[in-house]
Amino acid sequence: MSHLIALDAGTTGVTAVLYDTDLRPQKWAYREFAQHFPRPGWVEHKAGEIRDAVDETLAELLLGFDGSILGVGITNQRETVFPCLRSSGEALANGIVWQDRRTQTRCDELAKQGHADWIQERTGLLLDPYFSGSKMQWLIENVPGVRTAVSERDLVFATVDTLIVQHLVGGEHWVTEPTNASRTMLFDLQDMRFDGELCALFDVPMECLATVKPSVGELGLARLPHGFRAPILGMAGDQQSALFGQGCWESGDSKVTYGTGCFLVLNTGMEPVRSAGGLLTTVALNRKGEPCFALEGSVFAGGLIIQWLRDGLGILESADRSESMAREVPDSGGVTLVPAFAGLGAPHWDPGARAALMGMTRGTGRSHIVRAALEAIALQCTDIVELFRSETGLALDRLRVDGGAALNGLLMQMQSDLAGAEVIRAADIESTARGAAALAGLGAGVWNRIQDASAFSDEGASFKPVGNEEAVQSLRMQWQDALGRTKTR
């Protein structure tokens, strides 16, 4: 039987999923890779550890497999960038991860020089260390081997999609596609190409960038474990892939992905909508896998909060325990957690903010803190939903959700109550991987129309608002007060 493979290279691990041609998962494999924190505010990944995770998941996935593979789809954490030798693929330094804040000073300098509005107009992005351009400039200026490779015209800056494709194909095969390219801060949204003026502003030579290919189509022939070969036929950044995998192909469709961070994306159709309130304008994909536009709100700390409770504070035995522990108390007892571990993302964009746990008394217990953590996830997302509404005039009374934390029923009910919207959980919460497989299936010609893939008719659970409106508004006011105490601007 014919199958599709999706590779989802996220922030903390790689997932490989085998799908049938109805887009239903048949088998999956997962490997975590290490997170490196060399200094406060710095977050790095090693290229070799990501490549190893790719190889190990594919080897497990294809062990004993005797069918055919029509195509491979790739989706990935965005903005993270590695300096690599174009000729050999060798990474000259660790990759700088999207969460990393080391280039804040450079971003502040550019803002003082008056470049912020121009950059936002051309790229749709706010001037922030989150994006790749300032990371590339830092690597050139601070890693001697990178400077040498640039002078020898043998340097390519690889986002994670580019890194994986080159690894699977080999040779000097360095490609990306519009959704990932649009997150570098070097990409012109209107012309759909890397921009010479933006590259000059960040002192990044254009020849150091990967070739931009369509998101659907031939991206290279992958050499897979156990002797398999298959074409790479679809690729998109993780949030755009999740939007596609949720069937949000039309203007007004929206989704929330609960991963390490939380990412809310609203399809706005063929015209870019410029935000005045802290949202990003970015490239998305329509039902044909062709570029359209979206508004995005990026929350830096989502599942990361639960990981911190487990690994940092040790008050959770496992992430799965968060729901049952939070249900041990009727409310958070006045406790508020502002999870600004790496600053605040949308709509605040405050890199100087730091996390705070407020409102504790002698009676505060672990369950109150865990419940406050779940509330923090839902409250951050609610702020973005309200901004979507104010900037587009849309009611947004339905939110599609996916990602690991979407399995937490209490969190989903909190989200519905706080946002005043029906929350619809995908039947397959791995919508990011499904989006990549769907793009590969389009590339392989599996369906005439993407909606013909029967998995898109599968129904998941839904949550409707049932909370007391007065209590909801009180919690939101408490949240806004706590935010005000942690923000620096």
DSSP string, 303-353: HHHHHIIIIII---SSTTHHHHHHTTSSS-TT-EEE--BTBB-TTT-BTT-
If asked whether residues 360 and 316 sit together in one domain, one would say yes
Residue 416, pLDDT score: 95
Residue 252 lies in a domain: yes
**Domain closes at, from 174, 206, 235:** 235
pLDDT digits (tens, 9 = 90+) for 235-257: 999 999 999 999 999 888 999 98
The answer for 217, left when phi > 0, alpha when psi is -120 to 50, beta otherwise, is left
If asked whether residues 366 and 230 sit together in one domain, one would say no
If asked whether residues 230 and 254 sit together in one domain, one would say no
Residue 221 lies in a domain: yes
Residue 454 lies in a domain: no
- 111 has a pLDDT exceeding 90: yes
Residue 143, pLDDT score: 94
476: CATH:
3.30.420.40
User: Residue 131 — very low, low, confident or very high, per pLDDT cuts 50/70/90?
Assistant: very high
Could you tell me which residue, 255 or 460, shows the higher pLDDT?
Answer: 255
**Domain closes at, from 235, 267, 296:** 235
If asked whether residues 373 and 414 sit together in one domain, one would say yes
Cα Dmax for the chain: 65
- 448 has a pLDDT exceeding 90: no
If asked whether residues 125 and 170 sit together in one domain, one would say yes
Q: HSE on the CB side for 313, CA within 13 Å? A: 17
Q: HSE on the CB side for 217, CA within 13 Å? A: 11
Rounded to two decimals, the pTM is: 0.87
If asked whether residues 405 and 346 sit together in one domain, one would say yes
**What's the CA gap between 274 and 294, in Å, rounded?**
10
Residue 291 lies in a domain: yes
Q: Is 474 helix (H, G, I), strand (E, B) or coil?
A: helix
In angstroms, how far is the first alpha carbon of the chain from the final one?
57
Q: Mean pLDDT in the chain?
A: 92
Residue 27 lies in a domain: yes
**What's the CA gap between 33 and 11, in Å, rounded?**
9
- 135 has a pLDDT exceeding 80: yes
Residue 87 lies in a domain: yes
- 467 has a pLDDT exceeding 80: no
Q: Where are the alpha helices (DSSP H) in 209-292?
A: 238-245
Q: HSE on the CB side for 69, CA within 13 Å? A: 28
Which residue segment(s) compose the domain that 160 sits in? 2-235
Residue 5, pLDDT score: 97
If asked whether residues 202 and 342 sit together in one domain, one would say no
The answer for 63, left when phi > 0, alpha when psi is -120 to 50, beta otherwise, is beta
pLDDT digits (tens, 9 = 90+) for 309-343: 998 889 888 888 899 999 999 999 999 999 998 78
**Domain closes at, from 235, 267, 299:** 235
If asked whether residues 300 and 351 sit together in one domain, one would say yes
pLDDT digits (tens, 9 = 90+) for 348-403: 888 888 999 999 999 999 999 999 999 999 999 999 999 999 888 888 888 999 88
Share of the chain above pLDDT 90, in %: 74
With tokens 């608002």, the residue in question is: 465
pLDDT digits (tens, 9 = 90+) for 260-307: 889 999 999 998 888 888 899 999 999 999 999 999 998 888 888 998
pLDDT digits (tens, 9 = 90+) for 198-212: 999 999 999 999 999
Name the domain count of the chain.
2
**What's the CA gap between 187 and 91, in Å, rounded?**
23
- 188 has a pLDDT exceeding 80: yes
Lowest mean pLDDT among 30-34, 87-91, 448-452: 448-452
Q: Is 283 helix (H, G, I), strand (E, B) or coil?
A: strand
If asked whether residues 141 and 16 sit together in one domain, one would say yes
Contact 188, 119 (CB under 8 A): no
Contact 378, 406 (CB under 8 A): no
What is the pairing mode between strands 155-159 and 193-194? unpaired
Q: Look up residue 42 and give its DSSP letter.
A: -
For residues 88-97, average pLDDT: 96
If asked whether residues 71 and 154 sit together in one domain, one would say yes
> From the CB of residue 464, how many other CB atoms can be counted at a distance below 10 Å?
12
**What's the CA gap between 68 and 1, in Å, rounded?**
6
Residue 373 lies in a domain: yes
User: Residue 221 — very low, low, confident or very high, per pLDDT cuts 50/70/90?
Assistant: very high
If asked whether residues 224 and 295 sit together in one domain, one would say no
Residue 481 lies in a domain: yes
Residue 428, pLDDT score: 83
Residue 225, pLDDT score: 93
If asked whether residues 30 and 99 sit together in one domain, one would say yes
**What's the CA gap between 152 and 211, in Å, rounded?**
19
**E strand or H helix at 482, and its extent?**
helix 469-486
In this structure, which amino acid lies at residue 121? Answer: E
Q: Look up residue 36 and give its DSSP letter.
A: B
CA distances from 398 to 204, 255, 374, 423 (A): 42, 9, 20, 6
With tokens 């390519």, the residue in question is: 156
Burial tier of 133 (Cβ tally within 10 Å: 0-12, 13-18, 19+):
buried
